[in-house]
Structure 1
Amino acid sequence: MIFFKRCFPSISFVLMFVFGLLVSCNKSSKYRDLPEYKFFNLQQQGWKSKRVTQFVSDINYTATEVPIQYYLLKDNQADYAKVDSLYQVNSKERIIEVEFQHTSEADLLLKDHTNKTYKDAVKYIAFTIEKDFTVITSSNDTIPCSGVNFERNFKVAPFKRVLLYFNDIPPNDHIKLIYQDQLFGNGIIKFNLTDSPLKV
């Protein structure tokens, strides 16, 4: 009896801990499907997949997958239900951010690096570069780039960045980005985006 009295506080603590754990597990499964919960998880992951960098001829080529919810949320501030429904419609689309940066932080669009005039290099990276990118899916389908957006930073940042858009990729597929570098002439560069897609 004395032993039971001495152990009772610790037994009740263990029972309360187990009960609290069960309640919290039940609660988390209840809220797991809410859009707010999904976006909180994406925010905790930093919104992006792991950056994959390849270094060729003094240029760092970096590819990062960005979930489309990030861009949908920017246009529909705090309307999580609307963003979630838009995502369901567009769940087979992928956005990949690619950055190019010279080791000396030189402007990569200068003729020294592209063999084009500055104006022609800007045109190429803004429009024509999309034909240089494809994605290979887990099922070995080859998906061409369907669009590109060159983010102009007006020489404020030391890198050049493009956003690439791809369609018809199953949401759970891992992808490999293939770049046939026609702008800087460094051949075929591959990025295994194995940790994407990000989990929501």
Structure 2
Amino acid sequence: MKGLNKMFCFLLFFLFIFCEKEKITTAKDLEIRVRYFNLEKIGWKSRTYIQTVDDIVFAATEVPIQYYLLKDFGKDNLAKIDSLYEENKRERILEFTFQQQEEKDLLTKSFTGLDYTDAVKYMSFGLEKDFYVVTSKKDTIACSGVTFERNYKIAPYQRVLLFFSGIDPNEKIQLVYTDSLFRKGTLKFKFKDPNTQIAL
């Protein structure tokens, strides 16, 4: 009888621990879901800054890293997304778009002074050196990579993704672009609010 009581107490203790762990996991999951919902509700790409020089529109958009994590991994395992975000929260991804106001192809010789193939190569491999970020602490961070999204003349714009590393997630940043391709000078895009205001 004593052994049965000990076993019953052990089972009750185990059940209590399991239920508490499940409650904590559920509360954490709910908290993560609410944060992502709020981030999605304000608009993933709501921080866009635009400048027009002559007839070319330059647009810089800071996209939260969670957007890309959710896009790649889905919403099934938000704890994994949260963990990946924590590992990569010092990274910043900026979308940069070039568009001619009359929707002409900007990579033609009339805009770049280069053959079309050379302009595409520059967008793919040379553009990285034209961008850097200045933090509110006056640190200068070079662009660590560029991905040129080829649209094969389907869309009326050219877009690149810019990657920056080692930036405090609470840091306000300013993107500086020295335009060597279209020769429009230096453009500055000041992002006023860091994404971590509502991020994980």
Same fold (TM over 0.5): yes
Which runs of 5 or more residues in structure 2 are unaligned? 1-26
Determine the structure 1 residue equivalent to 2:190.
192
Which runs of 5 or more residues in structure 1 are unaligned? 1-29
Determine the structure 2 residue equivalent to 1:88.
86
Determine the structure 1 residue equivalent to 2:31.
34
The reply to whether residue 75 of structure 1 matches residue 72 of structure 2 is: yes
Alignment partners' CA distance in 2, 1:33 and 1:185:
50
Alignment partners' CA distance in 2, 1:51 and 1:105:
19
Alignment partners' CA distance in 2, 1:153 and 1:80:
32
Contact 1:49 1:196 (8 Å CA) reproduced: no
Determine the structure 2 residue equivalent to 1:154.
152
Alignment partners' CA distance in 1, 2:194 and 2:118:
34
Alignment partners' CA distance in 2, 1:34 and 1:147:
33
Determine the structure 2 residue equivalent to 1:182.
180
Alignment partners' CA distance in 2, 1:161 and 1:106:
14
Amino acid at match of 2:41: Q
The reply to whether residue 55 of structure 1 matches residue 48 of structure 2 is: no
Alignment partners' CA distance in 2, 1:32 and 1:195:
26
1:193–1:32: structure 2 CA closer, same or farther, 3 Å change rule?
Answer: farther
Determine the structure 2 residue equivalent to 1:139.
137
Length, aligned pairs only: 171
For the residue of structure 1 that corresponds to 2:35, the secondary structure is: helix
Determine the structure 1 residue equivalent to 2:17.
none
State the 1:37 CA deviation: 1.4
Amino acid at match of 1:59: I
Quote the sequence identity (%).
52
Give the TM-score normalised by the residue count of structure 2: 0.82
State the 1:32 CA deviation: 9.4
Amino acid at match of 2:98: F
Contact 2:29 2:78 (8 Å CA) reproduced: no
Aligned-CA RMSD value:
1.5
1:169–1:33: structure 2 CA closer, same or farther, 3 Å change rule?
Answer: farther
State the 1:196 CA deviation: 3.2
Determine the structure 2 residue equivalent to 1:105.
103
Amino acid at match of 2:123: I
Alignment partners' CA distance in 2, 1:49 and 1:194:
12
Runs of 4+, deviation exceeding 4 Å: 30-33
State the 1:49 CA deviation: 3.6
Alignment partners' CA distance in 1, 2:153 and 2:41:
31
Amino acid at match of 2:88: N
Give the TM-score normalised by the residue count of structure 1: 0.82
Q: Deviations over 1:35-94 (max 9, x none)?
A: 211211111011124210111121000000001111111111112111110000001000
Amino acid at match of 2:64: P
Alignment partners' CA distance in 1, 2:89 and 2:46:
16
1:174–1:63: structure 2 CA closer, same or farther, 3 Å change rule?
Answer: same
Contact 2:124 2:147 (8 Å CA) reproduced: yes
Contact 1:136 1:143 (8 Å CA) reproduced: yes
